[in-house]
Structure 1
Amino acid sequence: MSVPVVLPHGYPQSWYEWKHVMPALAKNYTVIAPDLRGFGDSSRPLTGYDGNTTTEDIYQLVSQLGFSNIFLVAYDVGAQTAYSYAATPPSNVSKLVFMDFPFPGFIPPEFGENGAWWFGFYQTHDVPELLIEGKEREYLSCFIKGLEYNPYAITEEDIDAFVSHAVAPGGLLSQFEHFRAFPVDAEQNKESAKNKITMPVLVLGGDIYPALGGDFPGNFALASTQALAANATGITVPPSGHWISEEQPEFVIEQLAKFFNH
């Protein structure tokens, strides 16, 4: 049985964000691409969106599938779940990849005290739902385009897929709850950072973010990760915005292969 590669996705996506990467990985690994709770076709509970809780979802999935050693590749808010998973003993993660996510509790100063604008917006209870409901497609299209470098990487069909989950009952609420858990995540991260994770960690980050001024520092997440991981190295994905696996899938596949085989 080949080593499994588990792929937690980011916001506002689902397993579908990995569609360009999965076929290449599947040639050598068992690929597991779950929908995180609150996203895609997964359930939408009212609570339990902090990393320590969402970690249990992934642990149970991996355990039920019969795996004991995994590679973990996580993007955006999925990286919080992945970090909490790797930091919870006994960890069965042998290699770990984070993509474009500043960890709560260790957000780089370039973001300001509370992170990117949507962090605070989504953490405001009820207001985002009231403003976005009924305009999910318009909002998500604008949000995605504001963080992309390649305007052709995410298609209208891709946006349709993400919108279909946002408009489901409780869809917006459950997705925003991941951001509303950031204060809890920050406290959990600060505590677990006292004992840094020791497995090899690769951090992939984009270098062009129009919605953040266009010249935002490339791979801003590396310093944040190094506060949590003793063996973290970073690679900037050129040229790419936030949607790395969709904008530069071949580069991502190449870097994952090198990292896994090193």
Structure 2
Amino acid sequence: MSAPTFRPSHSAVAARLRAAGCVFAEDEARLLIAAAHAPGDLDRLVEQRVSGLPLEYLLGWAEFCGQQIAVDPGVFVPRRRTEYLVQEASRLARPGAVVVDLCCGSGAVGAALAAAVGGIELHAADVEPAAVRCARRNIGPAGGHVHEGDLYSALPDALRARIDVLVANAPYVPTGAIGMMPPEARVHEPRVALDGGADGLDVQRRIAEEAPLWLAPGGQLLIETSVRQAPTTAALFRGAGLSARVVHSEEFDATVVLGKRQEIHRG
């Protein structure tokens, strides 16, 4: 009879993670233990986590808006703060609405919106092939469509002037601040999902400029940004002919700018 395999206790795993600087060591230990299915798995997972690999890559999923969102290595990991973007968008979307998730990454925002608002026509787009593959796993079951390409160029022409709710968690970290991000992000996540250019707003500018061509009359654009950048983001919306309103959540430590295309009134 072979000797039983030694399995480190939860407290031992948590202690290793805590020593490596993991803030939520106890929770991570529980998740890693549950993910280890064969002898040696746990040691490997803990070693990779201690070396800095994001927990979500090791688990293969991230919790977002109460759902398990599939996340593959090299794909942007959805942040809890972005749940506020979903919350605000879900207030505006109605069954039957055309909803588009630009810079979708794993598709977490689109999947969460589909769960929150039934019967929407959901589209998502990203420039990264790995993100597109991942998003299809998350959005496909909800009947959504994921397109590969650079912002609006990825979308079918049939969506022009038809989008009711357009959401974007576009990269908004200034290039010079990338080096100050946690290693989990700057080392392992794709640069294109983080780097927003010199002031962090390059992608937001492009989204705002073309939004009026894609939004339906009365359609809404929602972009996640930072408190510091929000006034400039709002100015971009107004410059494109949209209204602009900034909302902030202390609970999520998140800021969203909302813009609306003018409705057409026929007298």
Q: Shorter-chain TM-score category? A: 0.3 to 0.5
Find the structure with the greater CA-based Rg.
2
Pick the structure with more strand per residue: 2
